[in-house]
Chains A and B, each alone.
Chain A
């Protein structure tokens, strides 16, 4: 079995490097809600906007050997369904990984949208099903279901999407969804069902994942913790009768030498403003288990970027540079490839990688790191020879 490697589309804006917040590509970044500047040239008569830059990243990712990319959805970002359909015609191989929460869409509508997107792209759509962090954040989106109910809803949602996919007639009487004699029309019903990447760390999440997911997707965590997590996921889902694979979403900073890679981190860290650092050490209001696991990995005081090195080549301050997860891989091209192979040994079958700026780094990682990753090959032997 080979490893699938995806890239990420920075819907949440893009600084020109890890080192500094500005100059900034895109029109929003954490902490500045008022920035609005279409296009890298400042917008105006040329008609370019941030989507044109996103299109360039998608091209870079497909040219340099990634499967496609995750297109994150947050309150400040454009939406992945729209971005995918906009870029369908002008990309060739890029697979659109669409994160969404089941509560936001009628499942029969979602099935039709997905089948149409498959038709528009030649089968390049896939899901990242997110069940949501809960609390006030969910009500921002207009969703009032509580935490454990939401996993029941996710399961029902995917039951219905699968049920109608081949054309039906399909009837379903769930707690959240009821349909009668439903089914996709031909030729929509001939499309491949999208692969499902599934997120969520609680027991309720795992039960749902075991029924529908192809990949269990997690952020990078301490390696031993991740080994245990993958073991638990595979054990639980095996028990429920469905084999699922594991995937890791991780930021990387890869350079020709390890020194250059850490120098990039040092410069970025020195440019972090004190308010961001204080927020980093504080608490957020989410009831997501995954977020709590990330928070538990942080030290309580920080004097240097080195205080955030938690394992060889692992730095846990990435969300000081941009929103999202804390831990990422820093090192030479060879070291980054080795850490990815370590994760494969722990049980990872796929990766979603990212680095800033996503355009240039797609080429760098695609050219310098991906060719060194062995996956499930005989990695120890090849490394000794190389």
Chain B
């Protein structure tokens, strides 16, 4: 499998450095409760009115990722932001190539209904939909969102969700009775049958999550970690999948801060850290970032889920200065290996 590069779409806000945690670029609501955009002084006319909101900006980020050569866009599931499924639909017809990787939790609702919505996406986008089922936060947070499942059962529900979603897409009639989902004589027929299955991305760092991915995932996404820490988990995933006769792609979710020189990168990283408390995981010159990502690729990572703030400008930067050289490096490595 060739290596894929997926850009991040922050659904709850984006802006320059520290602003990113509270700003939604383009947002029309400019009230005092949430500083949605920088106000002009009374001396300057503000022509924006209420015509735009954050959706218009999200559309620009998606177009940026598409134009600058990313393979996909991960639409982040964030309760402070807009719903990932609605955002995916909003972006679908304005984009041409990128896969829309939609992140959500299995507490969403009926897995049959989710699968049916996914098929509609596949039909309308020529197969560009993908989904990432995440475990969500702790029990209290999940109860806030109408989800009363004990924490210990979250993975089991994801497991059933996938079984049912795959079942109705690939078989009719399909019946299943589990602990969380039930369907009888179901399954999609006619034009809703036989569509390409949306690739399934799963995540989680513990052995149970890896075991689930070995059975059910197309891609398992690891959080950013030094290569030495990641290597045993990568090996465990591959071994468990191989034991089941499957192969699961390894993904890496990592933020990058790449500049022409290391000095510039470090200066901006300090600025970001001092203003927002966050620190990019991978900081360096373009060459250094390319080297580091190539090292992950050599260790077996084939799916990179990259992000950088602000996501519009940085999509172009990474698309122009990192991806072409990195792709060329990986291709030449492959050639040498062959």
Q: Which residues of A contact B (CB under 8 A)?
A: 27-28, 32-36, 38, 47, 49-51, 75-76, 78-79, 81-90, 103-110, 112-113, 115-117, 119-120, 136, 139-144, 160, 177-183, 185-188, 190
Is the Cβ of B146 less than 8 Å from the Cβ of A88?
A: no
Chain B residues contacting A28 (CB-CB under 8 Å) are 190-191
Chain A residues contacting B145 (CB-CB under 8 Å) are 106, 108-109, 179, 182
Given contacts A104-B113, A181-B144, A190-B29, 16 further A-B contacts (CB under 8 A): A28-B190, A47-B126, A85-B85, A86-B124, A89-B94, A106-B146, A109-B108, A113-B85, A116-B83, A136-B184, A136-B185, A139-B182, A142-B183, A178-B143, A181-B143, A188-B82
B111 within 8 A of A: yes
Closest to A183 in B: B144
B250 within 8 A of A: no
Chain B residues contacting A116 (CB-CB under 8 Å) are 82-83, 86-87
Is the Cβ of A76 less than 8 Å from the Cβ of B144?
A: no
Is the Cβ of B190 less than 8 Å from the Cβ of A185?
A: no
Is the Cβ of A35 less than 8 Å from the Cβ of B107?
A: no
Interchain CA distance A86-B85 in the complex, whole Å: 10
B192 within 8 A of A: yes
B140 within 8 A of A: yes
Smallest CB–CB gap between A71 and chain B, Å? Answer: 11
B121 within 8 A of A: yes
Interface of A is mostly: mixed
Interchain CA distance A10-B86 in the complex, whole Å: 21
- Given A84-B89, A105-B109: A78 in contact with B82 (beta carbons within 8 A): no
Q: Which residues of B contact A (CB under 8 A)?
A: 12, 24, 27, 29, 33-34, 36, 53-55, 59, 79-83, 85-90, 92-94, 107-113, 116-117, 119-121, 123-124, 126, 140, 143-148, 164, 181-186, 188-192, 194
The number of A-B residue pairs with CB atoms under 8 Å apart is: 179
Chain B residues contacting A51 (CB-CB under 8 Å) are 123-124
Smallest CB–CB gap between B118 and chain A, Å? Answer: 9
Is the Cβ of B182 less than 8 Å from the Cβ of A142?
A: yes
- Given A49-B123, A186-B34: A119 in contact with B189 (beta carbons within 8 A): no
Closest to A181 in B: B144
Is the Cβ of B191 less than 8 Å from the Cβ of A79?
A: no
Is the Cβ of B190 less than 8 Å from the Cβ of A76?
A: yes
Interchain CA distance A75-B53 in the complex, whole Å: 35
- Given A79-B117, A180-B143: A33 in contact with B110 (beta carbons within 8 A): no
Interchain CA distance A120-B109 in the complex, whole Å: 22
For this complex, 19 residue pairs linking A to B, each with C-beta atoms less than 8 Å apart, are A34-B190, A35-B191, A76-B192, A79-B116, A83-B120, A85-B92, A88-B90, A89-B90, A105-B113, A109-B109, A110-B109, A139-B182, A140-B183, A142-B112, A142-B181, A160-B146, A185-B80, A186-B34, A187-B53
Chain B residues contacting A49 (CB-CB under 8 Å) are 123-124, 126
Chain B residues contacting A190 (CB-CB under 8 Å) are 29
Closest to B36 in A: A187
Is the Cβ of B107 less than 8 Å from the Cβ of A106?
A: yes
Q: Which of A141, A142, A179 contacts B143 (CB 8 A)?
A: A179
Smallest CB–CB gap between A74 and chain B, Å? Answer: 10
Chain A residues contacting B120 (CB-CB under 8 Å) are 78-79, 82-83
Chain A residues contacting B111 (CB-CB under 8 Å) are 142
Interchain CA distance A177-B109 in the complex, whole Å: 12
- Given A28-B190, A35-B191, A187-B29: A182 in contact with B109 (beta carbons within 8 A): no
Q: Which of B117, B146, B148 contacts A82 (CB 8 A)?
A: B117
Interchain CA distance A221-B242 in the complex, whole Å: 62
Most buried by B among A28, A106, A178: A106
Closest to A141 in B: B112
Interchain CA distance A36-B319 in the complex, whole Å: 38
Smallest CB–CB gap between B160 and chain A, Å? Answer: 11
Interchain CA distance A187-B81 in the complex, whole Å: 8
Smallest CB–CB gap between A166 and chain B, Å? Answer: 13
Smallest CB–CB gap between A154 and chain B, Å? Answer: 14
Is the Cβ of B24 less than 8 Å from the Cβ of A187?
A: yes
- Given A51-B124, A106-B108, A106-B109: A185 in contact with B146 (beta carbons within 8 A): no
Most buried by A among B117, B143, B190: B190
Is the Cβ of B113 less than 8 Å from the Cβ of A185?
A: no
Is the Cβ of B90 less than 8 Å from the Cβ of A78?
A: no
Is the Cβ of B117 less than 8 Å from the Cβ of A142?
A: no
Interchain CA distance A113-B108 in the complex, whole Å: 10
Is the Cβ of B184 less than 8 Å from the Cβ of A182?
A: no
Is the Cβ of A185 less than 8 Å from the Cβ of B53?
A: no
Smallest CB–CB gap between B142 and chain A, Å? Answer: 10
Is the Cβ of A185 less than 8 Å from the Cβ of B81?
A: yes
Interchain CA distance A44-B89 in the complex, whole Å: 22
Closest to A104 in B: B113
Most buried by A among B83, B112, B140: B83
